[in-house]
Amino acid sequence: MDVGITIQRAYEKQHPWVDLSAIGFCYVIDFATMGQINRQTQRKRRVRRRLDMVYPLVSGTLPKSQSWPASPGAAAGAGASSSPPGVGGGKGSRPGLGTLNRSHLQRLAIAQSRVLIASGVPTVPVKNLTGSSPVNPALAGITGILMSAAGLPVCLTRPPKLVLHPPPVSKSEIQSIPGISHSCRKTTKKQAKKGKTPEEVLKKYLQKVRHPPDEDCTICMERLSAPSGYKGPQPAVKPDLVGKLVKCSHVFHLHCLVAMYNNGNKDGSLQCPTCKTIYGVKTGTQPPGKMEYHIIPHALPGHADCKTIRIIYNIPPGVQGPEHPNPGKSFTARGFPRHCYLPDSEKGRKVLKLLLVAWDRRLIFAIGTSSTTGESDTVIWNEIHHKTEFGSNLTGHGYPDINYLDNVLAELAAQGITEESLAQEKD
The mean pLDDT of 153-182, rounded to a whole number, is: 83
Q: Is 200 exposed, middle or buried (0-12, 13-18, 19+ CB in 10 A)?
A: exposed
Distance between CA atoms of residues 235 and 257, nearest Å: 10
Predicted confidence at residue 34, as pLDDT, reads 76
pLDDT digits (tens, 9 = 90+) for 61-97: 444 433 333 333 333 333 333 333 333 344 444 445 4
Mean pLDDT score of the chain = 76
Predicted confidence at residue 87, as pLDDT, reads 36
Cβ contacts of 95 within 8 Å, gap of 6 or more:
81, 83
The mean pLDDT of 275-279, rounded to a whole number, is: 92
Predicted confidence at residue 106, as pLDDT, reads 57
Predicted confidence at residue 54, as pLDDT, reads 43
184-186 and 156-157 strand pairing: unpaired
pLDDT digits (tens, 9 = 90+) for 300-329: 999 999 999 999 999 999 999 988 999 999
Predicted confidence at residue 135, as pLDDT, reads 45
pLDDT at 104 over 90: no
pLDDT at 139 over 70: no
CA-based nearest residue to 76, from 107, 99, 98: 98
Number of neighbours of residue 279 by Cβ within 10 angstroms: 20
Distance between CA atoms of residues 375 and 229, nearest Å: 35
Number of neighbours of residue 174 by Cβ within 10 angstroms: 13
